[in-house]
Chain A
Amino acid sequence: MNIKLDDKERIHAIGKYGVCGYVPAVQASQLVKCLKKGKLTYTKSIIYMIKSNTCHFSILLFSIFLLSFCSGTVKTDHGPSPKFTSKSKLVIKPQINVFLENSGSMFGYVNGGTSDFQSGIYSYVSNIKNSGLISSIKLNYINSKIIPQGNDLKEFILNLTPYSFKKKGGNLASTDIPDLFDKVLKTTDNKSVSILITDAISSYSISSRGSKALGLIRSMMKDNILSQKNANPNLGIVVYQLNSEFSGTFYDPMNRMRKLVKKQRPFYIFLIGNNEYLKELITDSKTDINLVLGSKPENYFAFGDLKNSQSPYAIGRTPMIGGYDLDREKSKTVIHNARTRSMNGNEIFKFGINIDLKKSLLDNSYFMDKKNYSVSNPNYQIVQINSSHSNNYSHQIVMQSKIIFSGPLTISIKNQLPGWINNMNDENGNFDVPGVLDKTFGLKAVLGGIMDAYTNGNGQLSSYTIEINKN
């Protein structure tokens, strides 16, 4: 399509079959202003519609939409903060607050000053600081209280020694992980992202509280997150599990000590903040944690709501075995005339549902796993999950049934903890159990509590309902 400006300052669209129409340059200029103000959320799709073979219709739409959007009468799907441009780049950059736990159990990670822990954190935080994606950075130690350390990253990292940890004060003898989270959450507002670096070991004494200790941690974590979610409904949490050399005294939950020398121990980096900010930080190549030097994440998980408005879906035309007609008004969710096809003596009805999960904080591997889905009618089975590179949809769920059942069918994505959390979790705190030093006491209680805050009782991340009709 050719775009030309005439002497009356009108921008002409000339398609394959001749002149399609025009937009006055004044309106086009208005469009630019609207884009700058972030008011035009549908611009991309409107412009997309101006194709050479359909432009005589869409140019009209273009003008009408332009006027209505700029007059401010159009509702947008996005909340007021943070703001987006049409290309979904964040306008308001977040402040980053780094919280490094400096309790006694962390000494072993910084003993010697050359561990993967230090180089990894330095590299990661430095990448974030210099990414251009944030407004400012504040560095803190955290234990029973928050101890601000200014914003000099180099000094902060070079001072990571057991001596400096002790010198900065606070209660170093024990760690109350729910309390740690509570403090971090309360400093995380709509325009900031907190990075919490911790070994995630709670010091609740098993001997005094028994098995109830882990239940208590879980409940407190849930309560902390829910309180903060009320203030910021877009709150998301990302957790990376990393390993680093640990040399020093290791305390178990019963405060028994054991000297460890160059033992690989897990630690965790939590990113806490607005979903959109987190999405940008974990996906942008400048801040991708997988690109940092030193310690790289072994595992990843994310907690965050995925509203249906953020994950559009549609029944696809392919793959199709048997057949169906898409409803012309509700083509994305309703099919008619569904029919099976006989293949090798078996009747098969197969179709695909395309879902856009790009806005989720979870990574692709979670969505590619059939175990993370449930289907309302067990006769329909998920036979395949495909990753899609289309602009509109990120995944395709292929469903199959031997018999066609008319009525609604709901496919849900479960909100459940991944297997690695079970593998990394220790509930005994007993040194003598082989492999226990590779694990984290109470990890499942901590992350399970966060998960409880996000499942809202139904255990689902999101669900997608379609309607199948035989007629």
Chain B
Amino acid sequence: MGTFIGDIYCWFEGLFGSSMKDFLWGYDCGSQSFILTNRYEIFGLVAFISTLIIMLIYYYVISSPKSRWWNWLIVGLLVGLGNLLYAVFSCSSWLENGTIQECLLHDSNGNPLIFNADCWGVGITNGIIAFILFFIISMMGKWWSKGAKHVPFL
């Protein structure tokens, strides 16, 4: 499952680069293997749980017959933004507190391999994936909603 989630994130590898990609896969410089925590799995799990909760709140708590596609879109964008910020802050803290190991941070000449901008790349990726997930979960979960089962197509 972790591999499947990671593979989806890696469709957007161009946004964050190969060193960040390997870090998120759990690469360990000492053993030179992928034995550390697969962080794609964590991002994916957080995105799934947050979109599921928001979907349930949207369709079963706050929805009404007046609900329309644009307020669904705003909620979806907020879910995406929340996940974007979560990934950016997680990534920035890993950069700052030394969680990302040296062989991933710098090449043998000391040139940086991971930049702050890569964290935004991870964040944007996470936001996009969370939004897509929100759409999929909405399609699956909306049918039992009393007020908005046709949203976002109305």
Contact B31 A45 (CB under 8 A): yes
Which listed residue (B37, B99, B104, B109) contacts A317, Cβ 8 A?
B104
Interface residues in B87-104 (C-beta closer than 8 Å to A)? 99, 103-104
Residue of B nearest to A398 (CB): B108
- The verdict on B67 contacting chain A, using a C-beta distance below 8 Å, is no
CA distance A328 to B4 in the complex (A): 12
- Chain A positions within 8 Å of B35 at CB level: 49
Contact B99 A331 (CB under 8 A): no
Residue of B nearest to A57 (CB): B37
CA distance A393 to B29 in the complex (A): 11
Q: A316-B103, A325-B18 are in contact. Are A390 and B30 (CB under 8 A)?
A: yes
**What are 21 A-B pairs at a CB distance below 8 A?**
A45-B31, A53-B37, A57-B37, A314-B31, A314-B32, A317-B22, A317-B27, A317-B104, A318-B108, A318-B113, A319-B107, A319-B108, A319-B109, A326-B22, A328-B25, A328-B34, A331-B27, A332-B32, A332-B33, A391-B30, A392-B30
Number of A residues with CB within 8 Å of any CB on chain B: 25
Contact B3 A328 (CB under 8 A): yes
- The verdict on B125 contacting chain A, using a C-beta distance below 8 Å, is no
- The verdict on A354 contacting chain B, using a C-beta distance below 8 Å, is yes
Interface residues in A342-384 (C-beta closer than 8 Å to B)? 352, 354
Which listed residue (B32, B103, B108) contacts A331, Cβ 8 A?
B32
Residue in A54, A314, A319, A352 whose Cβ sees the most chain B Cβ within 10 Å: A54
CA distance A428 to B28 in the complex (A): 57
Contact B36 A54 (CB under 8 A): yes
- The verdict on B126 contacting chain A, using a C-beta distance below 8 Å, is no
A: which residues have CB within 8 A of B?
45, 48-49, 53-54, 57, 314-320, 323, 325-326, 328, 331-332, 352, 354, 390-393
Contact B99 A53 (CB under 8 A): yes
- Chain A positions within 8 Å of B103 at CB level: 316-318
A56 to chain B, nearest CB (A): 9
CA distance A320 to B113 in the complex (A): 11
B: which residues have CB within 8 A of A?
3, 18-19, 21-22, 25, 27, 29-37, 99, 103-104, 106-109, 113
CA distance A352 to B107 in the complex (A): 11
Contact A326 B30 (CB under 8 A): no
A399 to chain B, nearest CB (A): 14
Q: A318-B107, A320-B107, A323-B18 are in contact. Are A331 and B34 (CB under 8 A)?
A: yes
- Chain B positions within 8 Å of A54 at CB level: 36-37
Contact B18 A392 (CB under 8 A): no
- Chain B positions within 8 Å of A331 at CB level: 27, 32-34
Q: A320-B107, A328-B3 are in contact. Are A315 and B32 (CB under 8 A)?
A: yes
A313 to chain B, nearest CB (A): 9
- Chain B positions within 8 Å of A48 at CB level: 30
CA distance A391 to B19 in the complex (A): 22
CA distance A326 to B27 in the complex (A): 10
Residue of B nearest to A324 (CB): B18
B99 to chain A, nearest CB (A): 6
Contact B104 A392 (CB under 8 A): no
Contact B29 A317 (CB under 8 A): yes
- Chain A positions within 8 Å of B3 at CB level: 328
- Chain B positions within 8 Å of A316 at CB level: 32, 103
The 8 closest A-B pairs by CB, nearest first: A314-B32, A319-B108, A318-B107, A318-B108, A328-B34, A331-B33, A317-B103, A54-B37
CA distance A57 to B37 in the complex (A): 8
**Additional 16 contacts, C-beta under 8 A, given A325-B18, A325-B21:** A53-B37, A53-B99, A54-B37, A314-B31, A316-B103, A317-B19, A317-B27, A317-B29, A318-B103, A318-B113, A319-B107, A320-B107, A326-B22, A332-B33, A391-B30, A392-B32
- Chain B positions within 8 Å of A352 at CB level: 108
CA distance A328 to B40 in the complex (A): 14
CA distance A213 to B106 in the complex (A): 59
A398 to chain B, nearest CB (A): 9
Q: A53-B37, A319-B107, A325-B18 are in contact. Are A354 and B32 (CB under 8 A)?
A: yes
- Chain A positions within 8 Å of B104 at CB level: 317
Residue of B nearest to A393 (CB): B32
- Chain A positions within 8 Å of B22 at CB level: 317, 326
CA distance A57 to B3 in the complex (A): 17
- Chain B positions within 8 Å of A317 at CB level: 19, 22, 27, 29, 32, 103-104
- Chain A positions within 8 Å of B19 at CB level: 317
- Chain A positions within 8 Å of B36 at CB level: 54
Q: A54-B36, A317-B19 are in contact. Are A392 and B31 (CB under 8 A)?
A: yes
CA distance A54 to B36 in the complex (A): 7
CA distance A332 to B29 in the complex (A): 11
B140 to chain A, nearest CB (A): 30
Residue of A nearest to B111 (CB): A318
- Chain A positions within 8 Å of B21 at CB level: 325
- Chain A positions within 8 Å of B108 at CB level: 318-319, 352
A457 to chain B, nearest CB (A): 32
A289 to chain B, nearest CB (A): 33
CA distance A352 to B104 in the complex (A): 14
A57 to chain B, nearest CB (A): 7
CA distance A225 to B18 in the complex (A): 50
A378 to chain B, nearest CB (A): 25
CA distance A235 to B68 in the complex (A): 81
CA distance A10 to B107 in the complex (A): 43
- Chain B positions within 8 Å of A392 at CB level: 30-32
